[in-house]
Amino acid sequence: MSREIIEQYYAAFNEGDWDRMAGFLAADVAHDLNQGAREVGRAEFRRFLDRMARSYRERLEGIVVLAGPPGRFAAEYVVHGEYLVADDGLPPARGQRYVLPGGAFFTVADGAITRVTNYYNLPDWLAQVQ
């Protein structure tokens, strides 16, 4: 069942259904931002999604979900995106398109995602949007 939670989480992402996506998260979810700090809580994660939706239009393709020991999962995918509005501390946005491999690690407990750790190559993304 947990693997399906991850698959449904990404289906909601690709549909732009942030409320459904956040519904898969535990109230105290730990979210490790790529090359950034850890944020804790579903409300913080929802604010992150709103910020992302403002600055980026993204679709994940080729999603592969891998299962490890009970409650541990990983996913890899390719992000196809468009940079819409400048994000804090990043270059100006002019509708630049990018294609970027990415991945994530998850912990799932009691039917909810309790940790999401995202990774992508920031220098590669920066080179594509410069």
| Domain coordinates in residue numbering, the chain | 2-129
Assess whether pLDDT exceeds 70 at residue 28: yes
The pLDDT of residue 61 is 98
Full strand arrangement of the beta sheet holding 112-120: 38-40, 25-32, 112-120, 96-109, 72-83, 56-67
Query: What percentage of residues in the chain have a pLDDT greater than 70?
Result: 99
Q: With bands split at pLDDT 50, 70 and 90, how would you rate the model's confidence at 35?
A: confident
Looking at residue 2, what is its pLDDT? 83
- pLDDT of 11 above 70: yes
Average pLDDT value for residue range 89-113? 96
Q: For CA atoms 78, 83, 87, 93, give the dihedral sign.
A: positive
Looking at residue 1, its pLDDT comes to: 64
CATH number assigned to the domain covering 2-129: 3.10.450.50
pLDDT score of 26: 98
Q: What percent of the chain has pLDDT over 90?
A: 93
pTM for this one?
0.93
Question: CA 72, CA 100: separation in Å to the nearest integer?
Answer: 24
